[in-house]
Amino acid sequence: MNAKRLSRFLPPFLFAILMQFVAFFTLTHAAVAPPTGDHLALLAIKSMIKVDPQGVMTSWNHSITNFCQWQGVYCGHSRHHRVTILDLPSSGLIGTLSPSIGNLSFLRFIRLQNNSFSGEIHPEIGRLFRLQELDLYNNSFTGNIPATIMNCSNLQVLNLGRNNLVGKISDEIGLLSMLNLLMLRKNILEGGIPPFISNLTLLETLSLGNCQLGGSIPDVFQRLRNLRTLVVPGNNLTGTIPPSFYNCSSLEQVVLDDNQLNGRLHENIGLKLPRLQLLLIKGRLVIVEQLTLLKPLLYRSPCDHK
């Protein structure tokens, strides 16, 4: 029996009461429906945050059932209401990053830099194959960089700098062919500058400073036609600058300070690297005289101490 037919049989006031009861029941029923999917994953992420001094997650509560309206959470335009951006940098958050982040499978940008996340970067991050940016700079993450990161094949920005990550820079990162920024500086890594960077042909910025890397600089710059910034100071790099470095004519900023590099810079470095604006190579490298003839080039000589 539908509402129209019902209204014919019941007195008007009774009909009104019945309809209100139906509406009330429907509403409360909707409100108590348990969260699912992205909603559930976000609540799991919140549950691992111990301290939220700025209250950035205050809006992540049950009175706002549309999680796309929560602070720092952005959804795509489609009607499916899937989270595409998690953006809570510099928020003072203290806690760990729940592995449930891997359930937010539409995520494209994660920006959690300048917080105090500790614990591991869980392998579940590898489920985010749409991810373009992972910015966890300046937290306290420990453990290895998970090998599953190779599944995030759309990553363009991988910034894990200023954490307490350990271990070898995993070769899997070499499979992230879309990378244009790789920043791992200030971690406690092993090994040297990984040869796989030769495959990262879209790379614009490579920052591996203060990572306790050793060995020589691999001769792998041939194909890095987009590399503009190479920053690897404060390591234990030895040997000389490899020949292919001088083929990398896109270079604008090179910082190699505080390593144990030897030898001489190429006499024609200014011709070979015409875009070079900044060259910091304090250490044992000998700088050829011609360097001083170059245009606006800022550099520190071996004797020019801070």
CB of 297 to ligand NAG, least distance (A): 19
- Nearer to ligand NAG among residue 151 and residue 170 (C-beta): 151
- Nearer to ligand NAG among residue 167 and residue 195 (C-beta): 195
CB of 82 to ligand NAG, least distance (A): 13
**Of how many residues is the chain composed?**
306
- Nearer to ligand NAG among residue 159 and residue 228 (C-beta): 159
CB of 283 to ligand NAG, least distance (A): 12
- Nearer to ligand NAG among residue 153 and residue 301 (C-beta): 153
Full strand arrangement of the beta sheet holding 181-183: 73-75, 83-87, 109-111, 133-135, 157-159, 181-183, 205-207, 229-231, 253-255, 278-280, 298-300
- Nearer to ligand NAG among residue 20 and residue 284 (C-beta): 284
- Nearer to ligand NAG among residue 19 and residue 68 (C-beta): 68
Quickly list DSSP for 88-157: -TTS--EEE--GGGGG-TT--EEE--SSEEEEE--GGGGG-TT--EEE--SSEEEEPPPGGGGG-TT--E
- Nearer to ligand NAG among residue 23 and residue 171 (C-beta): 171
Q: Are the CB atoms for 226 and 203 separated by under 8 Å? A: yes
CB of 1 to ligand NAG, least distance (A): 40
- Token pair recorded at residue 151: 């599944």
Task: Report the candidate in 247, 233, 212, 217 with the shortest Cα–Cα distance to residue 280.
Answer: 233
CB of 19 to ligand NAG, least distance (A): 30
At residue 150, φ and ψ (nearest 5 deg) are: -60, -20
CB of 22 to ligand NAG, least distance (A): 28
Task: Please give the residue whose beta carbon sits closest to ligand NAG in the complex.
Answer: 126
Residues that bind ligand NAG (CB under 6 A): 40-41, 44, 58-59, 61, 63-64, 89-90, 100, 103, 113-116, 123, 126-127, 137-138, 148, 151, 174, 195-196, 198-199, 212, 222, 234-236, 244, 247
Task: Report the candidate in 136, 126, 132 with the shortest Cα–Cα distance to residue 156.
Answer: 132
Q: In whole angstroms, what is the distance from residue 231 CA to residue 254 CA?
A: 6
CB of 24 to ligand NAG, least distance (A): 22
Spell 254-287 as b/e; 16+ CB within 10 A means b. Answer: bbbbbbebeeebbeebbeebeebebbbbbbebeb
